[in-house]
């Protein structure tokens, strides 16, 4: 199974967002559709959600989103107010930044 990637007009995205994974979809702001590193970030989430759901009759997908929402109160994330401090975002950002670094070489 592969993600279904959909481009969304910027005006339809909440102002500070450029992409979101709503399994089985990945929604990306239209002007950022060609951003390979952003896609890698979202694909990391997508693959994790897919894995969680695979052996749990899809229940893991719901659990992933519930856990994600619960971890929004993670102290380090709350304190710093940067998305990469969310425990389920740190790896996704590492992948995105590594990709950007390689791209800029």
* Residues engaged in binding Zn ion (CB under 5 A): 89, 92
Nearer to Zn ion, 57 or 73 (CB): 73
Nearer to Zn ion, 43 or 89 (CB): 89
Nearest residue to Zn ion by CB is 92
β-pairing, 4-8 vs 19-22, is unpaired
**Residue 37: CB minimum distance to Zn ion, A:** 12
Cα–Cα distance between 45 and 92 in angstroms, integer?
7
**Residue 21: CB minimum distance to Zn ion, A:** 7
Helix/strand/coil for 19: strand
**Residue 53: CB minimum distance to Zn ion, A:** 17
Nearer to Zn ion, 43 or 53 (CB): 43
Cα–Cα distance between 64 and 59 in angstroms, integer?
9
Helix/strand/coil for 25: strand
DSSP secondary-structure letter at 56?
T
């Amino acid at each position: 199974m592969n993600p279904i990637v959909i481009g969304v007009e910027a005006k339809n995205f909440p102002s500070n967002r450029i992409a979101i994974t709503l399994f089985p979809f990945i929604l990306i702001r239209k002007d950022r559709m060609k951003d390979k590193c952003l896609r890698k970030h979202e694909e990391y989430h997508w693959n994790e959600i897919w894995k969680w759901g695979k052996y749990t009759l899809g229940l893991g997908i719901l659990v992933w989103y519930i856990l994600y929402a619960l971890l929004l109160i993670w102290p380090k994330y709350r304190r710093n107010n940067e998305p990469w401090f969310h425990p389920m975002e740190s790896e996704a950002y590492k992948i995105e930044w590594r990709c950007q670094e390689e791209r800029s070489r």
